[in-house]
Amino acid sequence: MNIEINYPPKLKAISIHAPHAYAICLGIKEAEYRSQPTNRRGWVLIHASQSKQSDDYFVDYGIDPTTVKRGAIIGAVKITSCVGSPENYVYRLANPIKFSRPIEGVKGKQAIFWGAKTDTEKTAFTLASEQIRGYLLNDQD
């Protein structure tokens, strides 16, 4: 697939264990807890990692684990604030979007926020940006 690369250069993604990633995109989870603060505000892509370490949480969130995609950008959310103290920061989240077409085949990163560096990642970020734009345009109607 040959697609014109076009996404905001400051757009980043965050890799999160699948149950929590889906809970965020569905609006069930309105905060993400991290050991590092962030000054980042605005849209961030949500990447559902391959890890199965937190799979017990699917039950808590009422999400059927057979319906999820791992190793995929599944949605986006806005970070509105970051509060907390050392080793315990809360990223407040708003305006969750669960993509109708998850962008599969994307490897996550250990860094809290990561950007598109490879051609595959640039294509994925472009496809994700298109879904965010579509959501925002439809939300204006």
pTM of the predicted structure, to 2 decimals: 0.93
**The token pair that represents 110 in the structure block:** 């250990």
Tens of pLDDT, residues 45-76: 999 999 999 999 999 999 999 999 999 999 99
Using a pLDDT cut of 70, give the percent of the chain over it.
97
Residue type, 55: D
Beta bridge partners of 125: none
**Pairwise CA distance, residues 60 & 136, whole Å:** 30
CB under 8 Å to 99, separation ≥6 — which residues? 25, 73, 74, 75, 76, 128, 131
